[in-house]
Structure 1
Amino acid sequence: MTRPDLDLIIRPAGPSELDVVLALYNVSRAMAGCFNGGDATRVEFLGSIDGEDVHVATRADNIVGFASVWVPERFIHHLYVSPAHQRAGVGSALLRACEARYGRPLSLKCVTRNVRARCFYAQHGWRCEAGGVGEDGPWEHWHSPLASPPGR
C-alpha cells in the first residue's frame, strides 16, 4: 500500500513564497466557512506569522499546504491545506513534520465551528483541553499526544 503523502516535500518557506502562502491561507479559510471577516491583507498576514517558523508542503513544486509555529511554546499557529489537496495526507504530513522538528507536546487553537479540523485533530490523537472566545467566535485549545499512536 502506498501512502499518498510520499510525493510531498515539507520544507521551510522562502520569503518569495509568502504571497502564495497568503493566497492559500485566504482560500482555505473562505472554503472552511467558519471564519469571520474577509481576506487577510499581506501586511496582516505577515504580522500574524512574525517570529514564527513557516513550513510549506509542496507537491510537484506547488505549495499545497503550510504550517507556522511559534517555537518558544511549540504552538502551531496556522495549519492550512489547499482545498484541492485536502484528504490527501498533506495535513497529516505537516503535523508529523512539526512533531519531528519541535517534539511533543505541541498545541494549537481551533475554531469550534471548524468541525472538519476538530475531527482531523481528534483522529490524530490530539485532545481538547480548554477553550475561549476570539474574533472568530468560540475556539478550543488542542494538545498533541505525548507518545505516537500505535501504527504511526
Structure 2
Amino acid sequence: MHKNDAAPAEALSQGLHAATLCADGRYPWGTSDTPVEGRAAALAQTRQDLTPEQTWPYDAATATGLGSLLVCQDWPREEVPPTPPAHRKLPNVPVLLLGGDRDLSTPYEWLYQQAESTHDPEIVIVPGASHSVQTRAVNPLGRQAVYDFLQK
C-alpha cells in the first residue's frame, strides 16, 4: 500500500460510490433503467457466453462476480438521462484517457466511448494492467503517459 492511498473512513461513502456506478454503468442487462427482475438472468447468460479469451487472465465467474455487478444487479430501477447532443461536447482541452487492458471495474472499451465526447483525446491502454494503472501497475507505461501528458 502506498502512503498516499490512505484516506479516513469519513471521507468515503460506499453508498455514493454504488449509486454513481449503478447510475452511470452499462452492464450485461443494460443500464439502470432496465427492470431489476431480468438482470440476474442477463448476468447468468453473459457468464455462460464469455470465452476464456475475453476474460483472461480471469475466468467468467470472476469477471461476472464483481462487487459493482452484484450491487447494481439489485439496485432500484431509475431513469437514465438522455445522452447530450453532439454539439455539447466537452471544451477543447487536452484529455488523457488511461486504462489497463485487464481492468474488470472500468473496461478499456469505456475509454473509446468517452473519447467520443472529447475533441482530441489521447488514449493509453496499459498491457497487463488492471485498475489504478498510474499507481499500481508493474508496467510503467501509465505513469509515463501521465508524466508526458502533463509536460505538454
What is the TM-score of this pair, normalised by structure 1? 0.29
Structure with larger Rg? 2
| More relative contact order, 1 or 2 (CA 8 Å, 6+ apart) | 1
> More strand by proportion, 1 or 2?
1
> More helix by proportion, 1 or 2?
2
What is the TM-score of this pair, normalised by structure 2? 0.29
